[in-house]
Homo-oligomer: A and B are copies of this chain.
Amino acid sequence: MAGSSSEEKAVAAVQNKKVVLRRHVTGFPTEDDMEITVDTTEIRVPAGQTAVLLKNLYLSCDPWMRGRMTKHEDGASVPATDFAIGEAMVNYGVGKVIDSTHPEFTGGDLVWGMSGWEEYTLITQPESLHKINHADLPLSYYTGVLGMPGLTAYAGFTQVGRPKKGDFVFVSAASGAVGQLVGQLAKIAGCYVVGSAGSDEKVGLLKTKFGYDDAFNYKSETDLGAALKRRLPDGVDIYFDNVGGATLDAALLHMRDGGRVAVCGMISQYNLEERDGLRNLYCVIPKAIRVEGFNVGRFFHLYERFEEEMAGYIKDGKVAVVEDVVEGIESAPAALIGLFSGKNVGKQVVAIARA
């Protein structure tokens, strides 16, 4: 981050490390599909542009990025464009405004929103950024509990799942960025909630930290249907699905009349060249089940209400947060890849600068 040596310029230019995609991916991604490159960036908004120059503080690693690493001929299966080869990858993050020509932002503002996987990013549509209203909480929370995953959990559970007091709720990938919050929101709503996760350590967290009534390690179960039946003998009113595949198929068989499957993600399927076939969708007919997919993009109108409500829960000790923070942009590729084998414990964050 040393300034450039050209002394005739009033504006400092700095080295800007980036994580770029080397090739489009099929199947399971590896660290080698990305590389760290460095270029030089002037740390001001170029003359004539209305934009904001951000210093990125925290990058967020989220499963949905996997879709953007593949080349889609028809663009049908992802909610955003494919990443471009050789350019910085893109995702939600937390940053500090270094320079702004936009009337709503000034230097020093703390914001979160879509930014680059790099140290400095020029944001040409600053309207998409959110100012951080609770800087007294860890700023990294705006990559998770107070950011996109938090809003995903909140909107998906309340608007798609539509919980009622006493509902039986099942959550997969339950210790992840979204799952850990769904469980806690379910308890706040007066539900009984069971989670699945991929290690005994995570199962322990679900019960001791996130208030899940019961939990199981799906990797230790030979029969997911039996595992569900044992823990939810009366069936499931809301299944909050983060994984798809065999877990979704088992849950479909175990839904109650009028049950709702809020389909948030299918991380078990993202790296498969041929997806698993679901055989139990017929259950939606006799039990009048609603299976509804959603993406958080439709729910940003709820963000302000959500931010206040969730910040309140955190400050009141009603919602606990577990983050898995790695240091330095060089750590970002491994952190992202780790999501797909469940290496992360809680929300995966990359800290690249503290202020």
Does A292 count as interface, using CB distance less than 8 angstroms?
A: yes
9 pairs, A vs B, C-beta closer than 8 Å: A78-B286, A79-B286, A263-B284, A265-B285, A278-B279, A281-B291, A283-B293, A287-B293, A288-B298
Q: How far is the CB of A247 from chain B (nearest CB, A)?
A: 13
Q: How far is the CA of A285 from the CA of B240 in the complex (A)?
A: 12
Does A271 count as interface, using CB distance less than 8 angstroms?
A: no
Interface string of A296-327 (1 = CB under 8 A from B): 00100000000000000000000000000000
Q: How far is the CA of A263 from the CA of B293 in the complex (A)?
A: 15
Query: How big is chain A's contact interface, by range?
Result: 35 or more
Check B76–A253 contact: CB distance below 8 A: yes
Q: How far is the CA of A78 from the CA of B283 in the complex (A)?
A: 9
Q: How far is the CB of A314 from chain B (nearest CB, A)?
A: 27
Q: How far is the CA of A264 from the CA of B286 in the complex (A)?
A: 9
Interface string of A263-286 (1 = CB under 8 A from B): 111100100001111111111111
**Which of A79, A291, A295 has the most CB atoms of chain B within a 10 A radius of its CB?**
A291
Across the A-B interface, the 10 shortest Cβ-Cβ residue pairs: A277-B277, A284-B293, A285-B293, A291-B291, A79-B286, A290-B292, A278-B278, A275-B279, A266-B282, A288-B294
Does A95 count as interface, using CB distance less than 8 angstroms?
A: no
Q: How far is the CB of A110 from chain B (nearest CB, A)?
A: 30
Does A77 count as interface, using CB distance less than 8 angstroms?
A: yes
Across the interface, A275 reaches (CB within 8 A) one of B248, B275, B282, B293, namely B282
